[in-house]
Amino acid sequence: MSASGSQRLSRRVGNVAFLSFCWAATALALTALAAILWSLISQGVGGLELAVFTESTPAPGSQGGLLNAILGSIMMCGLAMAAATFVGVLAGTWLSEYARDSAYGKVVRFINDVLLSAPSILVGLFIYGILVAPMKGFSGYAGAAALALIAAPVITRTTEDVLRLQPVSLREASVALGAPVWKTIWAVIWRSAQAGMLTGALLAFARISGETAPLLFTALNNQFLSLDLGGPTANLPVVIFQFALSAYDDWRRLAWTGALLIAAAVLGVTVLARILAREPARS
């Protein structure tokens, strides 16, 4: 065992330490996931009664549920997704089919990437500035607009990525049959890319359904059941925020139940999107 022997030893020790660190890091990340899921289940399942889905948010100390918040969230997310899908799919198509290498296309792509990870609270401030302040009132429409502005870049990005993967021969075949470009995109490219585009939409939905910050001063909150998006609209994230930080035990319990519902919905949609995308296993 000379110099080369001790060198070999130190290399092996270094390697083992490094490998152990990688294992430990992964274990730590998985532990965090397990701990969060466990808290949600242990604190949230107890409050999961029928009343949660049939009654509106209560005054402190009385019986109630989350019906108004759930309905408000569904309405705003639905509206936001409709708008965001329309804009996002068209914008993604433009980036992939019409402006792949143009300078303006590059600018839009870059701006979209910035929007993709811009702080969502700034989107809330923007929508407040252009919708809430001029209309002199918080509204569900403003909330939906804020959510749409968060979802649209996600859909734009995934649409562009998926469309780029479609083979050129597919486009050529369609054009050779005499189809105009819009028909080629509409009936051939979109159809062949629909699974990927659906995945993108699902991921965008998962992203906005838990968003709280942009709703704080757009949709605000509403203690009562209301199907009118023209006024302040209850929604799960803001209700969770207010109830969790309140001093009342029954409100806090409802907050945990709401958090469980939201996390279950988001994670369920994410898993569904993964299954749909089913990326080929890498070896």
Q: In the bound complex, what is the minimum distance in angstroms from residue 265's beta carbon to another protein? A: 9
**Contact pick of 61, 167, 230, 274 for another protein (by CB under 8 A):** 274
Q: Which of residues 1-40 bind another protein (CB under 8 A)?
A: 11-12, 14-15, 18-19, 21-26, 28-30, 32-33, 35-36, 39-40
Tokens 């990927």 map to which residue?
196
Per rule CB under 8 A, is residue 204 in the interface with another protein? Answer: no
Angstrom distances, CA of residue 277 to CA of 41, 162, 200: 28, 11, 9
Secondary structure letter of residue 259 according to DSSP: H
> What are the angstrom distances between the C-alpha of 62 and each of 249, 252, 263?
11, 13, 25
| Residues binding another protein: number (CB under 8 A) | 93
Asked if residue 197 lies in contact with residue 190, where contact means CB atoms within 8 angstroms, the answer is yes
Taking CB under 8 A as the criterion, the residue among 47, 52, 256, 257 binding another protein is 256
What residues between 35 and 94 interact with another protein by CB under 8 A? 35-36, 39-40, 43, 86-91, 93-94
Q: Nearest to residue 263, comparing CAs of 5, 21, 39?
A: 39
123: contact with another protein by CB under 8 A? yes
Choice from 46, 60, 78, 129 touching another protein (CB under 8 A): 129
Instruction: Give min distance, CB of 141 to another protein, in A.
Output: 16
Which residue in 232, 203, 201 sits closest to 215, CA to CA?
A: 232
How far, in Å, CA of 261 to CA of 268, rounded?
10
Tell whether residue 128 is a contact of another protein (CB under 8 A).
yes
- Which residues, 6 or more positions from 251, have their beta carbon under 8 angstroms from its beta carbon? 60, 242, 243, 244
- Rule CB under 8 A: is residue 249 a binding residue for another protein? no
Report the residue from 241, 251, 254, 257 that binds another protein according to the rule CB under 8 A. Answer: 241
Q: How far is the CB of 15 from another protein (least distance, A)?
A: 4
Q: Is 137 in the site for another protein (CB under 8 A)?
A: no
d(CA 13, CA 236): 51
Got the DSSP string for 102-144?
-HHHHHHHHHHHHHHHS-HHHHHHHHIIIIIHHHTS--HHHHH
The one among 199, 209, 226, 233 contacting another protein by CB under 8 A: 209
Shorter beta-carbon distance to another protein: residue 90 or 227: 90
Residues 103 to 122 in contact with another protein, rule: CB under 8 A: 105, 107-108, 110-115, 117-122
